[in-house]
């Protein structure tokens, strides 16, 4: 029998039927980390779990497959199953792509799984928390966009209670949905951009967190749409406002006991980080420019990674290649209490599988080579002059996607993490994205140059 749809339903299938689920989404991602899938009736659960659902890789953005090639098959992870909080007839699975009977090397989830298994070989399990920042906006009749709340402009809307309450109907639905999924939301607020929000919730094993972040972007959009808006994960929708980070909070645990191996009671450097944690930080610092290309992967990402730009205040976004204590002016911050490192370069547009795979492999290299990141920077790094920074040996993060891609291409870690096919495909795709942007003649330059001479 090539179909087991008539076989005894599995426990999970029975549970889904009892919950009223009728359809399944064995979902995988394209290069951007956007979920894609066919929809499968619940009666085909068994076949689907065995990899029956095929797709042409060439139909997905940035996937190294030609139209003539063998299809890729979706292999759902049963542990990732969740009923959509906004539509109880449908359940979603994060899935790995396979090709010709084996894991497809260019699948983002497989790329992360390879890094996770390298960590397991060394005796570590990576934990990841993502601070989800995003804007919820609405389309305006003139073709533009605006916040849902029509209150007057505020110079500093961070933590503004009135604007948070204006958005309560959809944000409380989103938080309830996250908690229904067991994500343990512990706070949410209006952020420093107008119409910008942050929702903070538990950390997870890195693979589960990457699945959750992919799902979160979709879910936030669905719930915002019910309120007549849309969620945007474009890192910098307003040039004169703060952008949206997706800060990665990273630690390594003992896979057996779950003990946090980055925690330290007696850290002579005062950050509450273990020697292992410092080695990891040093590995991430070594590869930061290449990592930047992956965790801040769009043209727009680099309009976020600035000190001030056209803003009145600071952006809170990282600019310099350095680490420090509980001090947001460093790209890597060790938050108060220690036991983790926060990579602030990561933004809301990243593919979380690829981004966390790069971070993990860089950190493991730091551990293997016992690298030392030096002492943490405690000062306001935003206020340092170029001369002071040069004296400290601190460079900047890439200033554009172009610079970041050059760093990615030059760093051997990139190909090691991505595998040769996805490395080339990702780089080609992103270089084209950059070229298309660079060759575009936009409003800013027309306004400036058209009648200048």
Decide if residue 316 touches ligand GLU (CB under 6 A): yes
Which residue intervals of 37-136 are DSSP H helices? 45-49, 108-121
222: nearest Cα among 191, 270, 264, 178: 178
328 sits near ligand GLU (criterion: CB under 6 A)? yes
Q: How far apart are CA 435 and CA 55, in angstroms?
A: 29
Is 16 near ligand GLU (CB under 6 A)? no
Contacts of 100 (CB under 8 A, 6+ apart): 70
Q: Is 96 in the site for Mg ion (CB under 5 A)?
A: no
Write down the least CB distance from residue 328 to ligand GLU, Å: 5
Burial grade of 157 (CB within 10 A; 0-12, 13-18, 19 or more): buried
CB contact at 8 A, 57 and 105: no
Residue 283 found at the interface with ligand GLU (CB under 6 A) = no
**Which CB atom, from 111 or from 130, has the smaller least distance to Mg ion?**
130
> Cβ atoms within 10 A of the Cβ of 311, count?
18
Pick the piece of the chain touching ligand GLU (CB under 6 A) from 144-152, 240-248, 382-390, 438-446: 240-248
Count the residues of the shown chain that bind Mg ion, applying the rule CB under 5 A: 1
Nearest-approach distance from CB 35 to Mg ion, in angstroms: 25
Measure the CA–CA gap between 414 and 267, rounded to whole angstroms.
32
Strand partners, 26: 93
Q: Tell me: does residue 304 bind ligand GLU (CB under 6 A).
A: yes
Q: What tokens were used for 439?
A: 């060759």
Binding of ligand GLU by 245 (CB under 6 A): yes
Q: What share of the chain is helix, strand, coil (3-state, %, to 5)?
A: 40, 20, 45
Q: Considering CB distances under 5 to 8 angstroms, the limit depending on partner class, which of ligand GLU, Mg ion, none binds residue 127?
A: none
Chain residue at closest Cβ approach to Mg ion: 198
Residue number with CB closer to ligand GLU (195 or 245): 245
The answer to whether 220 and 134 have CB atoms below 8 angstroms apart is yes
Which of ligand GLU, Mg ion, none interacts with 328 (beta carbon under 5 to 8 A by kind)?
ligand GLU
Near ligand GLU by CB under 6 A, which window of 134-142, 177-185, 241-249, 387-395?
A: 241-249
Cβ proximity to Mg ion, 198 vs 347, nearer residue? 198
243 binds ligand GLU (CB under 6 A): yes
Please report, as residue ranges, which positions from 159 to 198 form the binding site for Mg ion (by CB under 5 A).
198
C-alpha angle 368-370-375 in degrees, rounded to nearest 5: 145
Residue 62 in contact with ligand GLU, rule: CB under 6 A? no
**Contact residues for ligand GLU (CB under 6 A)?**
133, 242-243, 245, 304, 316-317, 328, 344
């Amino acid at each position: 029998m090539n179909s087991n749809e008539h076989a005894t339903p599995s426990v999970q299938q029975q549970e889904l039927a009892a919950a009223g689920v009728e359809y399944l989404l064995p979902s995988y991602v394209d290069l951007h980390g956007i979920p894609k899938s066919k929809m499968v009736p619940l009666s085909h659960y068994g076949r689907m779990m065995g990899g029956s659902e095929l797709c042409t890789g060439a139909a997905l953005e940035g996937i190294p497959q030609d139209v003539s090639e063998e299809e890729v098959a979706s292999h759902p992870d049963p542990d990732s199953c969740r009923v959509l909080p906004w539509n109880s007839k449908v359940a979603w699975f994060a899935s790995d792509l396979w090709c010709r009977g084996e894991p497809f090397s260019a699948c983002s989830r497989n790329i992360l799984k390879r890094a996770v298994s390298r960590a397991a070989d060394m005796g570590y399990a990576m934990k990841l928390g993502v601070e989800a920042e995003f804007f919820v906006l609405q389309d305006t009749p003139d073709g533009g966009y605006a916040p849902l709340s029509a209150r007057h402009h505020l110079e500093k809307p961070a933590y503004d209670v009135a604007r948070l309450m204006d958005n309560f109907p959809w944000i409380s639905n989103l938080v309830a949905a996250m908690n229904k999924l067991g994500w343990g939301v512990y706070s949410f607020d209006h952020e420093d951009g107008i119409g910008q929000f942050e929702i903070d919730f538990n950390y997870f094993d890195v693979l589960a967190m990457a699945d959750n972040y992919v799902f979160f972007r979709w879910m936030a959009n669905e719930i915002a749409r019910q309120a007549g808006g849309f969620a945007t994960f474009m890192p910098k929708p307003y040039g004169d406002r703060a952008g949206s980070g997706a800060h990665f909070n990273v630690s390594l645990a003992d896979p057996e006991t779950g003990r946090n191996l980055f925690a330290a009671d007696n850290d002579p450097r005062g950050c509450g980080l273990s020697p292992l944690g410092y080695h990891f930080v040093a590995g991430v610092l070594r590869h930061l420019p290449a990592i930047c290309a992956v965790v801040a992967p769009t043209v727009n990402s680099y309009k976020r990674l600035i000190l001030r730009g056209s803003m009145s205040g600071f952006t809170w976004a990282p600019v310099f290649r350095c680490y420090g204590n509980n001090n947001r002016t460093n790209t890597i911050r060790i938050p108060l209490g220690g036991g983790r490192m926060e990579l602030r370069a990561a933004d809301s547009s990243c593919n979380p599988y690829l981004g966390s795979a790069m971070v993990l492999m860089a950190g493991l290299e730091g551990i293997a080579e016992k690298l030392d990141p030096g002492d943490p920077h405690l000062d306001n790094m935003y206020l340092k002059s170029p001369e002071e920074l040069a004296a400290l040996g601190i460079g900047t993060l890439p200033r554009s996607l172009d610079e970041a891609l050059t760093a990615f291409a030059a760093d051997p870690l990139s190909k090691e993490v991505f595998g040769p096919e996805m490395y080339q495909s990702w780089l080609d795709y992103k270089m084209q994205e950059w070229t298309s942007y660079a060759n575009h003649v936009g409003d800013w330059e027309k306004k400036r140059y058209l009648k200048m001479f």
